[in-house]
Amino acid sequence: MSDDRNAKMFDKIKKIKFDILKRCKQVEDKHGSEKTTSFMMHETKSVLKNIAFWKIPEFGVITVDDVKTAIYQLERDGFIEIINRDQIKLTQKGSNIAQELRAMRFEEVPDTLLSAPPNSSAHPYETMRCLHCGKAIEIDSVYCKYCGTKVNQLEEFCTYCGASITPGSQFCSICGKKI
């Protein structure tokens, strides 16, 4: 993927995550923390109870796969819990983040706020994992301090299952789909 295309996809998924968390927080505030938020996946569009995702002007057409990727990434990072095929709810961590998002416009949201590095014991917004050795390194690192590998600043994700993929991969190692 080119850097420009990768950046646009990252921003598109970030915008979808932003909208999902804000909508879930509205439902939680209105009905309590045990209330789930409904969503429907159609072949041509996705709807999250009162939010239609099939078009966001600055990002163009939003596919069902884009929404699934955002939902799976939010679950992986511990922000939401998928209850069943069409119900999600915020975790405590997700509720806290969504509360922060309420006061922000999308353009103000730091990239690191909507994703958490896997298995990190450090503060979740200050580190990331080196793709070569897997050790936690500072988020603004250019080179890994443990193995010396140049750090790819934009992590790539499978558009089908949301799994993290090695930059330049042609197939996802989790679902096997062509990227």
pTM: 0.59
Whether the Cβ atoms of residue 156 and residue 170 lie closer than 8 Å to each other: no
Q: Answer whether residue 51 is part of any domain.
A: yes
Q: Which of 64, 89, 100, 94 is nearest to 77 (CA)?
A: 94
Looking at the structure of the chain, the number of domains it has is 1
- pLDDT given for residue 121 in this prediction: 41
First to last CA, the chain: 9
- pLDDT given for residue 124 in this prediction: 44
Q: Answer whether residue 73 is part of any domain.
A: yes
Full pLDDT tens readout for the chain, 179 residues:
456 767 777 888 888 899 889 888 988 999 888 888 877 766 555 566 656 666 677 777 777 777 878 888 888 888 998 887 778 889 999 999 999 998 888 888 888 888 655 444 434 446 677 766 667 777 667 777 877 877 654 556 676 666 777 767 788 877 788 87
- pLDDT given for residue 99 in this prediction: 92
Q: Answer whether residue 174 is part of any domain.
A: no
- pLDDT given for residue 90 in this prediction: 92
Q: Answer whether residue 167 is part of any domain.
A: no
- pLDDT given for residue 47 in this prediction: 65
Q: Answer whether residue 162 is part of any domain.
A: no
Q: Answer whether residue 92 is part of any domain.
A: yes
Whether the Cβ atoms of residue 56 and residue 15 lie closer than 8 Å to each other: yes
Cβ-proximal residues to 49 (8 Å cutoff; 6+ apart), any chain? 23, 27, 37, 38, 39
- pLDDT given for residue 63 in this prediction: 74
- pLDDT given for residue 92 in this prediction: 92
Q: Answer whether residue 103 is part of any domain.
A: yes
* Domain span at 61: 1-115
- pLDDT given for residue 122 in this prediction: 38
- pLDDT given for residue 2 in this prediction: 54
